[in-house]
Amino acid sequence: MKATLAQGNQVLNLVLQSKIPSEQLQDVLDSGVLSDVLHANVALVDRDKLREVLGLKTKAVGEPVLCFVEGNTAYFTTQELSKQWGDDWNDAPYEHNAERPYGPCDHNEPKYVADRGGICYCYSCLSDWNEDGTPKWKITKVAREMCPYHGGNASLEVRPYRQATRR
């Protein structure tokens, strides 16, 4: 999708509405970001560069952390765990109620259903962690194994850290 003139004008209007000092606005123009918006795919615009030129804080991205396991699919988040959530994460028993996490959240689900296999058939989310705050699940193996039909598949093996008692 190509950026339109209207999209470029929107960006420029946002810059101008923020009452950015003229020397900083010159930095914006010199950076070529507005040109990128007008002449390139919007998805290719370096948002961190734009935020830096505008004098805004860049979003710190943390290390991916396991936040939910469903079947043999592990979901990871780069935001603080206290901010990561999903439907019914506060309803016990979690293995029957918890749904996949809300975005932003990445997961390792294989592309083909046949490749998914069966490593772990239980759900786990941060509401289901041990009372001392440690995750109930630990990744013990991430491997790419040969699959006779698709030439290989990603697999993830998880195991309990230790048994947790629920109140």
pLDDT at residue 12 in the model: 62
- As a whole number of angstroms, the distance between CA 97 and CA 87 comes to 8
- As a whole number of angstroms, the distance between CA 63 and CA 65 comes to 6
Mean pLDDT (10-residue bins), the chain, 167 residues: 54 60 65 62 62 65 69 69 77 70 53 42 47 54 42 45 36
pLDDT at residue 167 in the model: 35
- As a whole number of angstroms, the distance between CA 9 and CA 141 comes to 49
Instruction: Give every CB contact of residue 133 below 8 A, 6+ residues apart in sequence.
Output: none
Residue 152 in 3-state DSSP?
A: coil
Structure token digits, residue 112: 């083909």
pTM: 0.34
- Spans of all domains in the chain: 5-53, 65-160
